[in-house]
């Protein structure tokens, strides 16, 4: 009799255990559903829609600085939309994907207090996704940075990117920035009041570069208005009297006084007709032509025609 009673009690106990397990699973599902609803509310109702200009971040360390800088600029120009830290954190999480989103999801599900403190959240975020040794690399790059062939604006952009990865004080950054400028800009800085802040020094460098470019343009325009010395020399030579050209026999070239040098057929025709090879008249020859210019003194000797 006792065995039959025990056998009948076992199914009842098993059923009770199953019901308790299902109740626990149901409660767990309810909790997860509530957390998801809360996460959805955080991502939709309280958080502005992600702008197309905001980059997404999936966890690449090299993209971390660009992502956070873009958010800083976006928040700065929309102070009324992002007046609360929780809204900023929600917007940041909405821009995550891949491993980065997987990292943030548990905090949203558990309603972690860090969601209401943007600075603390970003600190944790950077600790998780920043590349080890990035600050040391940036410091080394700043020590060696040079403007080189870049214009000042390009140099400033690169310098700011590296400086953002370090914790160096303003005075050190000012010294490094000035040291890397082109020599011509540093020469002009001597005539300016020494800037103690990095922003002021950058503004001075930009202004100097603009003035130097403007001065070079003025010089280029002024050179275009002045006549080159070679042109003046050519003009002077063209105004000098020309001496008659001489042929291979040492005599002045046989030219018609109105048409220029004679052709070979004209020379032969004049010789046959007994005309002067210089003026084309009859009664005299080239040596005795009355209109032929006098021969200049020299070593050339005439040959009989």
| pLDDT tens track, the chain, 305 positions | 455 555 555 777 777 788 888 888 888 877 766 666 555 555 444 667 777 778 899 988 888 888 998 899 999 998 999 999 999 999 999 999 999 999 999 999 999 999 999 999 999 998 888 877 777 888 899 999 999 999 999 999 999 888 887 889 999 999 999 999 999 999 999 988 888 899 999 999 999 999 999 998 888 888 876 655 555 555 555 554 444 444 444 444 555 555 567 778 888 888 888 888 778 787 777 777 877 777 665 554 444 44
Q: Alpha-carbon distance 156 to 203, whole Å?
A: 10
- Return the pLDDT at 156: 94
Alpha helices in the chain (DSSP H): 2-44, 64-76, 85-94, 98-109, 118-129, 134-144, 152-163, 170-180, 183-189, 198-225, 229-239, 264-273
Token digits of residue 150: 């870049």
- Return the pLDDT at 237: 55
- Return the pLDDT at 244: 47
Phi-psi group of 236: left, alpha or beta (phi > 0 → left; psi -120 to 50 → alpha; rest → beta) = alpha
CB distance 55 to 63 below 8 Å: yes
């Amino acid at each position: 009799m006792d065995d039959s009673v025990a056998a009948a009690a076992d199914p009842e106990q098993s059923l009770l255990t199953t019901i308790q397990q299902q109740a626990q699973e149901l409660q767990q599902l309810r909790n997860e559903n509530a957390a998801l609803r809360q996460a959805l509310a955080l991502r939709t109702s309280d958080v502005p829609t992600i702008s197309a200009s905001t980059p997404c971040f999936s966890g690449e360390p090299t993209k971390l600085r660009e992502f956070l800088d873009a958010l800083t600029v976006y928040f700065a120009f929309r102070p009324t939309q992002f007046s609360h830290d929780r809204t900023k954190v929600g917007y940041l999480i909405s821009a995550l994907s891949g491993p980065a989103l997987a990292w943030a999801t548990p905090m949203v599900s558990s309603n972690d207090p860090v969601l209401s403190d943007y600075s603390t959240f970003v600190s944790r975020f950077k600790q998780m996704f920043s590349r080890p040794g990035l600050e040391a690399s940036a410091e080394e790059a700043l020590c060696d940075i040079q403007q080189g062939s870049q214009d000042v604006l390009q140099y400033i952009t690169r310098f700011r990117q590296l400086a953002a990865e370090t914790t160096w004080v303003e005075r050190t950054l000012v010294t490094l920035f000035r040291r890397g400028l082109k020599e011509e800009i540093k020469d002009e800085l001597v005539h300016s009041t020494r800037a103690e802040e990095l922003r002021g020094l950058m503004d001075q460098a930009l202004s100097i570069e603009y003035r130097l470019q403007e001065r070079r343009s003025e010089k280029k325009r002024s050179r275009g208005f002045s006549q080159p010395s070679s042109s003046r020399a050519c003009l002077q030579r063209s105004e000098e009297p020309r001496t008659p050209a001489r042929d291979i026999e040492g005599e002045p070239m046989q030219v018609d006084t109105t048409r220029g040098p004679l052709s070979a057929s004209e020379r032969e025709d004049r010789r046959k007709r007994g005309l002067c090879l210089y003026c084309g008249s009859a009664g005299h020859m080239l040596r005795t032509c009355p209109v032929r210019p006098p021969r200049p003194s020299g070593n050339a000797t005439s040959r009989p025609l």
